[in-house]
Copies of this chain bind each other. A is one copy, B any other.
Amino acid sequence: MSKIDQDVFYRSVSNEIEIFEHTYKNRLPLILKGPTGCGKSRFVEFSAKKLGIDLITVSCNEDTSASDLIGRYIYKNESVEWIDGPVTRAVRNGMILYLDEITEAREDVTVLIHSLTDHRRELFIDKTNEKLKATENFYLIASYNPSYQRGLKKMKPSTLQRFVSLEFNYPPTDIEVEIVSNESHLEEKKVKKLIAFSKHVRTLGELNLAETISTRLIINSAKLIKSGVDERSAVITGMTNPLSDDSDISKSLQDLVMLSF
């Protein structure tokens, strides 16, 4: 159940790789949900590589609008030239399009993809009056973090129902050790100590953290230790300082570091 790609290291946690084969085969648009730094983007990179299809990633934000994604006219050498945006390039050239954190984008983006997510699989470019049929390989993947969705920034059910959906989460201990060691080259014993500490923090519900320690943070601390920083400073700099801006919580976390290392 575990596969390792040489170029893009991805360690599968469940049967997500198998399911992906079928969602892609049926070209059912796929949406990944899960917390920060749990490997969603890695999974997409890995899957694109495995299929041998080019990947275009768009990090959505509140200023991402449909027209940014479709394309624009540029005035160049006194003549006007059309330049495809990332969505149009993916549709035209049969690439995988990954809309990362799609709930952050402006609403017209989620509407833009309507005709790409149903039986039509086409994109209407109003500026050039062109109706673009997606080439065969084109595939749409999106992601979002359910715990972030603030106020109006929720996925509309009508949009969500246009996707099949995979849930991601932090990996179990043994897989996390494998991942951190591989990325930081720190010896396994020290990695296990870091992960034990992070598991402990993840259970401290009373800290009321918006997010807990992600695998990415553990890797950062591991890299600093490997590089020569003492364990305490490496954990505070790499793991606890980025967690919270509340001074009481910061102090508690630092005390915990002093006790643990």
Residues of A within 8 A of B (CB): 15, 18-19, 22-23, 25-26, 28, 31, 33, 36-37, 57, 59-66, 68, 73-77, 79-80, 83, 85-86, 100-101, 104, 106-108, 110-112, 114-115, 126-127, 129, 145-146, 148-149, 154-158, 160-167, 209-211, 214, 216-217, 220, 223-224, 227-229, 233, 237-238, 241-243, 245, 247, 250
Contacts and interface: CB of A to CB of B under 8 A. Distances in A.
A161 to B, nearest CB: 5
B241 A106 contact: no
Contacts of A162: 216
A61 B107 contact: yes
Contacts of A243: 160
B126 A68 contact: yes
A247 to B, nearest CB: 8
Contact of A23 (B26, B209, B214, B224): B224
A59 B157 contact: no
B241 A166 contact: yes
A161 B216 contact: yes
B106 A36 contact: no
Contact of A157 (B83, B156, B157, B211): B211
A19 B228 CA distance: 9
A166 B165 CA distance: 32
Nearest to A224: B22
A43 to B, nearest CB: 14
Contacts of A220: 28, 164
B237 A158 contact: no
Contact of A164 (B161, B228, B242): B242
A83 B161 contact: no
The 7 closest A-B pairs by CB, nearest first: A165-B241, A146-B245, A61-B111, A36-B158, A157-B211, A63-B108, A22-B227
Given A23-B224, A26-B223, A77-B79, 12 more contacts: A18-B229, A26-B227, A33-B245, A36-B161, A59-B112, A63-B65, A75-B80, A86-B126, A101-B111, A104-B111, A165-B237, A165-B241
Given A83-B129, A157-B36, A220-B28, A164 B108 contact: no
